[in-house]
């Protein structure tokens, strides 16, 4: 499948046009330099620290295997951030990738602290294999939440991931509140299972986070893509 954008041509970032976001005064950019992404996240007020999955010094992302999205408002202030990367799990599966900590660190022995561990009990995680697009580090500025932006960003990100990689699966980890607030339906992920437990040390305190695994299949992404193309080509009557 031809790639929508060629990441090797862009060392920093390029604009993306989305009418729904433009109407809200938000402009999007897609970037490929994760050192730049970390610099942006570290200087964005109220944004929690980015996990090791998208920190290039801990988990390098090869050119073409990752991108990030940034939305800025009319004052050019950061309003939206999200990151995506591709895992090659041809000889493995997502459950093993999580539990080995290789989903988070290139070399867990070197970079993970002694308390770090992941237990993945989501049954379907063992069937998620091949080319797996992982979406994470999602953040929307507080006053912009509850306005349907998650659905728009999911549409953009899923479309980009399909166009660039045509993955076998697309997945993410979310906390319970995301299901309670209906955000998972906005993310357009029809499948979700508990539970994935991640323990790590943060600022001297050991924390254990519980997540749900959410995902879409490559066939679902492809059908969504084809439907959008059909809708775009269908004449609109007014």
- Who's near 189: CB < 8 A, 6+ residues apart? 170, 171, 172, 214, 215, 216
pLDDT band at 237 (very low <50, low <70, confident <90, very high): very low
Average pLDDT taken over every residue of the chain:
88
- Residue carrying the six token digits 């979406």: 135
Task: Tell me if the pTM is above 0.85.
Answer: yes
The proportion of the chain whose per-residue pLDDT surpasses 70, expressed as a percent, equals: 90
Q: Is the pLDDT of residue 80 over 60?
A: yes
Q: Is 103 left (phi over 0), alpha (psi -120 to 50) or beta?
A: alpha
Which residue ranges form the domains of the chain, and what is each CATH number? 7-233 (3.40.630.30)
The residue ranking higher by pLDDT, 113 or 88, is 88
Q: Is the pLDDT of residue 234 over 90?
A: no
Concatenate the DSSP letters of all residues of 59-88 into one string.
Answer: S---TTSEEEEEEE-TT--EEEEEEEEEEE
The residue ranking higher by pLDDT, 113 or 130, is 130
Q: Is the pLDDT of residue 7 over 50?
A: no
Concatenate the DSSP letters of all residues of 222-237 into one string.
Answer: HHHHHHHHHHHHSPPP
Mean pLDDT over 172-193 rounds to 90
Instruction: Among 122-126, 158-162, 231-235, name the most confident range.
Output: 122-126
Q: Worst-scoring range by mean pLDDT, 19-33, 63-77, 155-169?
A: 19-33
């Amino acid at each position: 499948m031809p790639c929508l954008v060629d990441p090797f041509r862009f060392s920093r970032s390029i604009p993306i046009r989305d009418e729904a976001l433009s109407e809200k005064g938000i402009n999007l950019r897609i970037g490929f330099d994760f050192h730049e992404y970390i610099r942006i996240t570290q200087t964005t007020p109220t944004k929690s620290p980015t996990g090791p999955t998208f920190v290039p010094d801990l988990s390098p992302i090869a050119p073409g295997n990752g991108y990030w999205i940034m939305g800025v408002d009319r004052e050019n202030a950061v309003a939206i951030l999200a990151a995506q990367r591709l895992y090659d799990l041809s000889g493995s599966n997502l459950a093993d990738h999580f539990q080995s900590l290789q989903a988070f660190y290139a070399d867990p022995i070197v970079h993970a602290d002694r308390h770090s561990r992941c237990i993945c009990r989501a049954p379907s995680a063992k069937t998620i294999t091949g080319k797996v697009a992982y979406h994470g580090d999602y953040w929307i500025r507080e006053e912009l939440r509850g306005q349907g932006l998650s659905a728009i960003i999911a549409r953009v990100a899923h479309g980009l991931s399909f166009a660039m990689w045509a993955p076998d699966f697309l997945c993410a980890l979310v906390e319970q509140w995301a299901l309670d607030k209906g955000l998972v339906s906005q993310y357009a992920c029809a499948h979700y299972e508990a539970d994935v437990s991640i323990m790590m040390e943060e600022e001297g305190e050991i924390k254990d986070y519980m997540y749900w695994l959410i995902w879409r299949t490559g066939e679902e992404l492809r059908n969504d893509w084809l439907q959008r193309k059909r809708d775009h080509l269908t004449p609109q009557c007014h």
